[in-house]
Amino acid sequence: MRKDTQLTRQKLVDAAEKLFAEKGLESTSLFDVLKASGVKNRSALQYHFKDKAGLINAVLNKHSGVIAEYRSTLIDQLQKEEQWTLHQAVDVIVAPLAEKLSPESGGREFLKIHSQLMVSEQYSQLRLQRPELRAEARRIQSLLAPFVKDISEQSIHARFALIDCLLIHGLARYFYTEEAVSRQFFHQTLVQSIVDIISQPEPKFNNI
């Protein structure tokens, strides 16, 4: 790809990332992105991304590769030890995303967009269709397997649905509490909260 073409693509991705985080996925049009980017060629968005879903994927790709690489490194380190605690296994899930809380990482918009995707009727599947997640999920399952062996399948699904919400919405919410809570404290509180969800006894309900 030519340098000027790459620059155009990057301008569009950066503008979209900022607008999606500030105005919302549903409220931001492709024309809004084009105008904010300063790109004059009206066909550039379609050329690079085809449609809005393609543009959202490009914004996610800006960070997801780094996150996947970091998480893979953490998993490799744990598996070399052959034994690990539930706290360590959960931190493998949390740490790569929590790293995006740093202003230097450029990931604040990424986390806010992920939070929106979880509740978007039109685009929610985009965050679940990422190819790097499939290999990651299998490796994370192997780390957690020793700690969920006595939990029913229904309870596992319920707990991890809650964990997904706590992780993504929780990290996106941090930006409204960062003056009162340090990143490290928030990170560790999030890890402990997920550990507590996983390690609680199998619930006993009547008439279910």
Summarize pLDDT for 165-183 with one digit per residue, the tens: 999 999 999 999 999 999 9
Query: Considering its fold, how many domains does the chain have in total?
Result: 1
In a domain, 208, yes or no: no
Q: What is the pLDDT of residue 208?
A: 56
Q: What is the pLDDT of residue 60?
A: 92
In a domain, 171, yes or no: yes
Position 18 pLDDT exceeds 90: yes
Q: What is the pLDDT of residue 103?
A: 80
Q: What is the pLDDT of residue 207?
A: 56
Q: What is the pLDDT of residue 137?
A: 86
* Sequence-ordered alpha helix ranges (H) in 51-205: 52-81, 86-98, 108-118, 131-148, 153-173, 183-199
Determine the structural domain holding residue 49 and report its residue range: 3-199
Q: What is the pLDDT of residue 132?
A: 66
Residue 105: CB atoms within 10 Å: 15
Helix (H) or strand (E) holding 9: helix 3-23
In a domain, 22, yes or no: yes
Cα-Cα-Cα-Cα dihedral of 33, 39, 42, 43, to 10°?
-100
Residue pLDDT, tens place only, 64-79 = 889 999 999 999 999 9
Residue 178 phi, psi dihedral angles, 5° rounding: -65, -20
In a domain, 118, yes or no: yes
- The CATH number of residue 44's host domain is 1.10.357.10
Position 88 pLDDT exceeds 90: yes
In a domain, 12, yes or no: yes
Residue 49: CB atoms within 10 Å: 21
In a domain, 172, yes or no: yes
Percent of the chain residues past pLDDT 70, beyond the cut:
96
pTM of the model: 0.88
Per the CB < 8 A criterion, the answer to whether 68 and 132 are in contact is yes
Q: What is the pLDDT of residue 194?
A: 97
Per the CB < 8 A criterion, the answer to whether 112 and 24 are in contact is no
> What are the CB-based long-range contacts (under 8 Å, 24+) for 5-11?
8/39, 8/41, 8/44, 8/48, 9/44, 9/48, 9/58, 11/37, 11/38, 11/39
In a domain, 206, yes or no: no
Q: How far apart are CA 67 and CA 192, in angstroms?
A: 21
Per the CB < 8 A criterion, the answer to whether 197 and 159 are in contact is yes
In a domain, 205, yes or no: no
Under the banding of pLDDT at 50, 70 and 90, the label for residue 12 is very high
Under the banding of pLDDT at 50, 70 and 90, the label for residue 202 is confident
